[in-house]
Structure 1
């Protein structure tokens, strides 16, 4: 067996995932559905504006803020 070069090297992790998707092609569709459910959300622009405007500036040294009081 020849040594893998940079051009043909594939990690064990990549090999595992490639084999998994070959054996279970329906996983790709489930993966897309799960991503859409948890991550691909439409942003409410009004809410986003409110969050941005309501940010409180952070003090320069956050760990001992109580010393200033």
Structure 2
């Protein structure tokens, strides 16, 4: 089984489960998990990056958060 076969299987899985995946991504549980992960990632970046990029980090975090969960 080659990489192309794996990619095709992944595409088939996504196509067959597209509605369930969309429903899951916009659930309360996804909102809670994504908030925790995004907050942790943003905090980490803010600790190691210069303070001048904090606003950009927050903007990216908020942009991603809008795509996941229900808020």
Q: TM-score, normalised by structure 2?
A: 0.32
Normalized per residue, which structure has more helix? 2
| Larger RCO (CA within 8 A; separation ≥ 6) | 2
Q: TM-score, normalised by structure 1?
A: 0.33
Structure with higher Rg: it is: 1
